Amino acid sequence: MTQPALNTQTLIQALDLLGKLLERASAASISLVICGGSSLIATGLNPRATKDVDIVAFYDEDSGIRAAHPLPASLVEAALSVADELGFNANWLNNGPQMMVNDKLPNMGLPDGFVDRLHRQPYGQRLTIYFIDRLDQIYFKLFAAADKGGPSYHLDDLIALAPTADELEGAAQWAMIQDPSPAFADTLVAMLNAIGYEDAAQKL
């Protein structure tokens, strides 16, 4: 059976149900930082459908950003119940992008000002979602598109965000900290040239 698409309506439905299940289980409160397609949908940046909700980090206003590993058992159990109820795949909520948080890099490997730009949305008393900002989507999507090394939905999302040359230059400088290899830099330059941002490419 094909999973129903996560769009504006089903995303809200899923997260509302997730929050209610956490309350019903008297689970500890949790705050998740979400990136990718679901964050694009939730912040109104791109109404396209997606297949999952990507957790990049845990966040607490007192202790800050933390790596999203491991996911609490209460969250995993609640997410599986949501999957059963709504017909989603078992991993509709996952921490695939958790590697973006790296305590060996400046600012935990995240773009400067990342936390200040987060968009907070509570779902009941136990679940708070922080959706990443448009600028951080540009950074993440540029990195992911270059990492793929060719046409991809990441590149489509990046183009849809209509970044300025300055935004892409900043994103590229950040991406090359995440992957400092010459091969990645070459791919990045070629990609920027291919999508019409020659000025940004020349500055790398």
The predicted-structure confidence for 39-92, as pLDDT tens digits, reads as follows 999 999 998 999 999 999 999 988 899 999 999 999 999 999 999 999 999 999
Give 5's pLDDT tier (boundaries 50, 70, 90): confident
Q: Using one digit for the tens of pLDDT, what is the confidence trace for 85-129?
A: 999 999 999 999 999 999 888 899 999 999 999 999 999 999 999
Query: Per 3-state DSSP, what percentage of the chain is helix, strand, and coil (rounded to 5)?
Result: 50, 15, 35
Tell me the C-alpha distance between 102 and 52, whole Å.
23
Distances (CA, A) of 194 to 23, 47, 125: 49, 25, 46
Are 138 and 168 spatial neighbours (Cβ–Cβ below 8 Å)? Answer: yes
Q: What is the pLDDT averaged over residues 187-201? A: 94
Number of residues written out for the chain: 204
Q: What is the mean pLDDT of the chain?
A: 95
What pLDDT, on a 0 to 100 scale, did the predictor assign at position 1?
Answer: 56
Tell me the C-alpha distance between 129 and 20, whole Å.
14
What share of the chain in percent tops pLDDT 70? 100
Q: Using one digit for the tens of pLDDT, what is the confidence trace for 149-179?
A: 878 999 999 999 999 999 999 999 999 999 9
pTM: 0.95
Q: What is the pLDDT averaged over residues 8-34? A: 97
Q: What is the number of alpha carbons within 13 Å of residue 172 lying toward its C-beta?
A: 25
What pLDDT, on a 0 to 100 scale, did the predictor assign at position 136?
Answer: 98
Q: Is 64 left (phi over 0), alpha (psi -120 to 50) or beta?
A: left
